[in-house]
A and B are shown apart, each in its own frame.
Chain A
């Protein structure tokens, strides 16, 4: 998995819960819950989808690392290496 593939999987996981999200109109540094209008359950379901597609285990303690898309990218890239 390279960085581009991880980004693709993140966007795909967001769109599972929020299909209306357009990756070209969202700010990757902003709070993802505000940027993509995710409530608490959407956020958990997004992480569950991401865990499934990347195969990387995401535990509760990691949740703050998924604050924005860019922070999630950094975390997953780091985990993968």
Chain B
């Protein structure tokens, strides 16, 4: 297998934060004490006050319109205090649940850190979600305050938010000037809505950081479920210990780095590594408001002299597709380390990056539930292209199976497929699914957190991702629950049944495909079906948003079902991919 390894002999190992992998793992101790006062915002921002880096650029924001705004660590400390004091002025108490639904604007970052500084719980939502995923997450999360823009509010929230019993205040982070509305005319907003910029003008720049404890809830991230509603994944302030440690080892971040994490804070990567970890380590982080564009991205890498870049397979594959001629026009010599996360990065993409970008992507693996990177290809270690890498210092991973007694047994033999499990107890391990204690407990057995991902480990200890143990779909690095999509499509009057699966896609990893059966009274002429297909696609997009809605919809006369009427998604998938159909003993009614 040696030809498949990218050896690091040519890289200077003194430049890495992890000189001796085995020694660091052996000596590692989390040294966490949940009784101690600990606050993520303090670690990310206030900790740097009155140090040599307080006036250093902490966050450089690049606007779509070429605008550039720099925030020093001191600026962030003051602005996050302003936000925290606004929450206090509005009458909220620590523990308040603040959700964001907004693109990558500076006030999003300030709201996130300001919420944590106040002792509140922050939940980022992806602004490309449609009204249904937004509403279900806000209802489950018992949101009190929503930070958004007037535009997104009008488009997705205005008609129904007052039905949510806990939601009291909406803060618009776009400025009233932008909307051609004068400050004095705030009263024209719906009841409970405020322009945040106006509230901030007479707020307190010295509002102190809350004295939260390590085990106080800090972040609530949502993840999709296979059979039910999305789950609110609880993280505590102590997670920051793992955020810092993992960024140091797996991303090789050092204080003098200029770092760009391309993930949106609406997803867990964009929070753990797009807000918290880089600031904790005192780096300068770049935030780009715009969406992916090949030239724009290469330009940012060159102009901002990015040294460490953390991105995702979908974007990497789009760069590959654009070809190497474009890349030749840019100087990427500042880059020292590049990493990828979201779904397994194919070996070909790792090879491509080494050849075309001049250095290889380091893939790593983690989940919303793990809170931080758990397995990674490190700067100082050989890369095995296509592999997730090695467990981080402080993390014990294993491939496990259930034995006949129902207990967990580790599989020691190399390259045997089993479920990837992590020894429980690291600081960023999730502490619950909100109001779903039973579901949470099901994730643990015999001291192991069972990830739901199938994987194998080779003789050198590198882990290789195989697939999900359940029906969750991974598209562009995001987990999508089929149930949420099926439920939305079922609301259309023509639809009788829906089965949703992920099918392989060369750019996004998987794309969402829906199999639909229609009610008997629907006219099935070719013309009508074509029109209905478009209508359903639009119907799903309006409810779910582009990130979740199916890219492809096909009609069937019948879907394969079990005796109890459950649609057999795995059978749809096996047939789509020409794979063995597996256990079909429960099949009662077959696909037509």
Which chain A residues have a beta carbon within 8 Å of chain B's beta carbons? 15, 18-21, 31, 33-34, 37-44, 60-61, 63-64
B69 at the interface (CB under 8 A from A): no
Q: Is the CB of B292 within 8 A of A40?
A: yes
Question: Which B residue sits closest to A18, measured CB to CB?
Answer: B541
B354 at the interface (CB under 8 A from A): no
In the complex, A43→B128 CA distance in Å?
Answer: 13
Distance in Å: Cβ of A21 to nearest Cβ of chain B: 8
Q: Is the CB of B545 within 8 A of A19?
A: no
- Chain A: interface secondary structure? helix
24 sample A-B contacts, Cβ–Cβ < 8 Å, listed by A number: A19-B534, A19-B537, A19-B538, A20-B537, A20-B538, A20-B539, A20-B542, A33-B291, A34-B103, A37-B128, A37-B130, A37-B545, A38-B546, A40-B314, A40-B315, A41-B476, A41-B507, A42-B546, A60-B294, A60-B323, A63-B295, A64-B293, A64-B295, A64-B296
Distance in Å: Cβ of A41 to nearest Cβ of chain B: 6
B6 at the interface (CB under 8 A from A): no
B212 at the interface (CB under 8 A from A): no
Q: Is the CB of B291 within 8 A of A41?
A: no
Contacts of A20 in B (CB 8 A): 537-539, 541-542
Q: A19-B535, A60-B326, A63-B294 are in contact. List 11 more A-B contacts (CB 8 A).
A: A15-B534, A19-B538, A19-B541, A39-B476, A40-B292, A41-B508, A43-B291, A60-B322, A61-B326, A63-B293, A64-B293
Contacts of B531-564 to chain A: CB distance below 8 A: 534-535, 537-539, 541-542, 545-547, 551
B357 at the interface (CB under 8 A from A): no
Contacts of B130 in A (CB 8 A): 37
B300 at the interface (CB under 8 A from A): no
Contacts of A64 in B (CB 8 A): 293, 295-296
Q: Is the CB of B295 within 8 A of A61?
A: yes
In the complex, A37→B292 CA distance in Å?
Answer: 14
Q: Is the CB of B535 within 8 A of A41?
A: no
Contacts of B315 in A (CB 8 A): 40
Q: What mask results when residues 520 to 538 of chain B are scored 1 for a CB within 8 Å of chain A, else 0?
A: 0000000000000011011
Question: Which B residue sits closest to A38, measured CB to CB?
Answer: B546
Q: Is the CB of A40 within 8 A of B326?
A: no
Distance in Å: Cβ of A16 to nearest Cβ of chain B: 9
Distance in Å: Cβ of A46 to nearest Cβ of chain B: 11
Contacts of A18 in B (CB 8 A): 538, 541, 546
Question: Which A residue sits closest to B546, measured CB to CB?
Answer: A39
Question: Which A residue sits closest to B539, measured CB to CB?
Answer: A20
Contacts of B539 in A (CB 8 A): 20
Q: Is the CB of A40 within 8 A of B294?
A: no
Task: With A20-B542, A37-B545, A41-B551 as known contacts, state yes or no: A60 contacts B534, CB within 8 Å.
Answer: no
Contacts of A21 in B (CB 8 A): 538
Task: With A31-B64, A60-B326, A63-B295 as known contacts, state yes or no: A40 contacts B318, CB within 8 Å.
Answer: yes
